[in-house]
Structure 1
Amino acid sequence: MKAAQAKPPRGRRAKPLRAEELCNFTEGLAVLVGAGLPLDHVLETVSFMHDSGRVRALTAEMLLAVRGGASLTRAMAEQNGVFSPAYLGLVQAGELSGALAKVLDELAKGLRRNLEIKRHLLTVLLYPAVLLAVSFLAILFIMIYVLPTFVGVFNDMSTPLPPTAAFLLGLGSFMKENSLLLGLAFAAALGVVFWAMGNQAARQVIDRALLRFGPQRNVLANWLTSQYFRTLGLLVEGGVPLPEACRQATAAVGNRHFRRGLAGVEALLKEGRSLGGALAAGKVIPAAPLRMVVLGEEAANLPTMLGYAARHLENKVKTDIDRVVRLVEPAIILIMGVVVGFIVVTMINTILSLTQGGI
């Protein structure tokens, strides 16, 4: 059972729906299909339910395909990349098993949960990000506009400056005199970052580094594993064969290095390896959730265990992020206080020492 059976025609790749649009679209499909409405009426109603022009255009094209005899999976696949392979696989599994409403409902719940978690992460990370930006700008303002005002005062005194004060004043003067150059360098750095995000080879290196180095690697690995397990569990529960389900779940993961580690799972399963053994060979799934997969296989209850593991990992990610944020916020304030305090104390001590020395 492969979603690839409904291959889209070649042409311009359409932009996927935004996460909120896709979630609302799927929830609408689930409710209306569950109510027993014909598929064309379902699509018409979903179109009326949404204000988004993209959703309305999408449902209009799908409606034409369905009225022309296409299945829902085929109508979705013809939209050239709007729906992921995992999404198409789940819908096709629901159509073939006669449980489309149930599959759509589970898919909608999964999408909604993912959206809520992402919003939670954005919310808790927003304040530290703003605090860090304000702190950086405040220190930059002091270095460029405040410190250089002391240069003229100290130049009128014949007494040599202490090394620390001389360094700070020299740095401030350099930053002020070369502010345009520094601004261009910062803009160039941003350009390199945006280029790297769009370059396949650079993204591979970045994704690998994020998973292997830094304090975020464990949180990111748990997050990616939860997404993989949730998609895989839904696909297996929907009746998709395990090798094909693994292929589609892997394609739905955003991190390239993580996908690369899971690329051989499908082949290993076809060779007779267990899912736990195949995932272990990829060396990207953490040990604890990997153990849950093994237990799920031994109990012949893999979809349930995958869903449980996904929820457990999602909750762990939220807890870890909240804990880190609670530590980062006071750390940023402390660092800013130390830096600003160091500058102020250095300048005051310099003024006092020069004044007393000149008396």
Structure 2
Amino acid sequence: MAISRSAAKKTTATTSTARDNPLSLFVWEGVDKRGVKMKGEQASKNANMLRAELRKQGITPNVVKVKPKPLFGSSGRTISPKEIAFFSRQMATMMKSGVPIVTSLEIIGGGQKNPRMKKMVDQVRNDIEGGSSMTEAISRHPVQFDELYRNLVRAGEGAGVLETVLDTIASYKENLETLKGKIKKALFYPAMVIAVAILVSAILLIFVVPQFEETFKSFGADLPAFTKIIVAASRFMVSWWWVFLFGTIFAIVATVIAFKRSPAFQHFVDRMILKVPVVGQIMHNSAIARFARTTAVTFKAGVPLVEALDTVAGATGNTVYEKAVHRMRDDVAVGYPLNMAMKQTALFPHMVVQMTAIGEEAGALDTMLFKVAEYYEQEVNNAVDALSSLIEPFIMVVIGVLVGGMVIGMYLPIFKLAMTVG
């Protein structure tokens, strides 16, 4: 018994030492056996150990030093969902090829250009080397690996099919990012064009219209009503432009903060977006596609349906659907079939409910939900393409009203004067 305790203490001490002395990244330069100059980067506990390792590889090191940190700190850019998806794909590919998990992480970490991503992968590898499971290691990074990711990895480790689950996660995240990219593209373009149109209008009101106003005063004639409105707007902007600027910034910041911190406000905004023509339907279809694919992935990985629904709720991308999925989870927990729980929310189309019912009866729920996801993802793609075509004339109308209307208002007095002289 004493020996066991001693061994346990020794193991604990070794693990603690390993964690207290993390690997550092070194840059080195050297010459191989042929006299060819070589250089590279490699992680090691200290410079002497790295020199010994290089000599084993037949390289005589001349320079070995710790890699300097970037000028603005080692943070670099944030870790994007696409990087997590690519990380999952790399892990799945290497593990399926028989590469041990620690070696896979070492290879992936060495190929990272994003300092934050590299640091995170190295931390995951160190934790696993110290005896942690993959689930425990990624749980220390909840921002990058959300609850859904952790639950799927836990299920994959429990069933001994981690590489298959990681491959499924990679496909899921790739499809999800493609879908999100489509929606952002559809909404970003018109928003930017309208913002530029408003900016141009503000510049005209502050710098151009006052010049016209000086000219109008020399006419001595009464200005048209439309021109008077533009001149009044110009005077307001010249005197109070800072109120308009800071008021706009404050409104945007306040809205963003309220959306992030107030669930009630976020629910209100999400509910209003779903009611917007065309855009609302795209958001409906997107939420259904994300729900179907996420549920299918978790269910296929072996996560119980009730637990899967609890995880899926936050992945729908809309708080209206999130609350609906929570209600569905409660219904399923007391014995209702999933299709009946979906029907009670009044958010899912009849086709989705019926396909879910068929999948439950046939014991192929994940297969049916994958088909639902593919169908609605295609619907989103088609709707986004159609929206892009519809938005172009709408943008032209907005620009015409804002900029063109202002130009016409400025030239109306000149036309009136010309008619009077004629």
How far the C-alpha of 1:320 sits from its partner, in A, is 0.6
Match of 1:48 among 93, 100, 110: 110
CA distance, structure 1, for counterparts of residue 144 and residue 410 of structure 2: 59
CA distance, structure 1, for counterparts of residue 404 and residue 80 of structure 2: 45
CA distance, structure 1, for counterparts of residue 403 and residue 129 of structure 2: 68
**Are 1:173 and 2:232 an aligned pair?**
no
CA distance, structure 2, for counterparts of residue 81 and residue 291 of structure 1: 36
CA distance, structure 2, for counterparts of residue 251 and residue 349 of structure 1: 55
CA distance, structure 1, for counterparts of residue 399 and residue 141 of structure 2: 51
Which one is further off, 221-230 or 173-182?
173-182
Match of 1:103 among 136, 161, 165: 165
Counterpart position of 1:249:
312
**Preserved contact between residue 293 and residue 306 of structure 1 (Cα < 8 Å):** yes
Higher strand content, 1 or 2: 2
Which one is further off, 140-149 or 234-243?
140-149
How far the C-alpha of 1:233 sits from its partner, in A, is 0.3
Counterpart position of 2:399:
336
CA distance, structure 2, for counterparts of residue 188 and residue 298 of structure 1: 54
Cα deviation, 1:179-224, whole Å, max 9, x if unaligned, reads 1222122122122222223322332332232234554222112112
**Preserved contact between residue 265 and residue 278 of structure 1 (Cα < 8 Å):** yes
**Are 1:192 and 2:254 an aligned pair?**
yes
Structure 1 counterpart of 2:165, one-letter code:
V
CA distance, structure 2, for counterparts of residue 142 and residue 287 of structure 1: 52
Q: Percent identity?
A: 26
Structure 2 counterpart of 1:186, one-letter code:
T
Which one is further off, 201-210 or 261-270?
201-210
CA distance, structure 1, for counterparts of residue 192 and residue 143 of structure 2: 35
**Are 1:231 and 2:303 an aligned pair?**
no
Match of 1:135 among 175, 178, 197: 197
Structure 2 counterpart of 1:256, one-letter code:
T
**Are 1:204 and 2:267 an aligned pair?**
yes
Unpaired runs of 5+ residues, structure 1, are 1-14
Is the partner of 1:37 in helix, strand or coil?
coil
Structure 2 counterpart of 1:97, one-letter code:
A
CA distance, structure 1, for counterparts of residue 78 and residue 399 of structure 2: 41
Counterpart position of 1:315:
378
Cα deviation, 1:308-356, whole Å, max 9, x if unaligned, reads 1111111111211111111111221133224444333343332232354
TM-score, length-normalised on structure 1?
A: 0.87
- Structure with the larger RCO, 1 or 2 (CA within 8 Å, 6+ apart): 1
**Preserved contact between residue 280 and residue 290 of structure 1 (Cα < 8 Å):** yes
Counterpart position of 1:114:
176
CA distance, structure 2, for counterparts of residue 48 and residue 23 of structure 1: 17
Is the partner of 1:156 in helix, strand or coil?
helix
How far the C-alpha of 1:358 sits from its partner, in A, is 6.0
**Are 1:34 and 2:34 an aligned pair?**
no
User: Cα RMSD (Å) of the superposition?
Assistant: 2.4
Counterpart position of 1:156:
218
CA distance, structure 2, for counterparts of residue 356 and residue 218 of structure 1: 51
State the structure with more CA Rg: 2
**Preserved contact between residue 228 and residue 252 of structure 1 (Cα < 8 Å):** yes
How far the C-alpha of 1:234 sits from its partner, in A, is 0.9
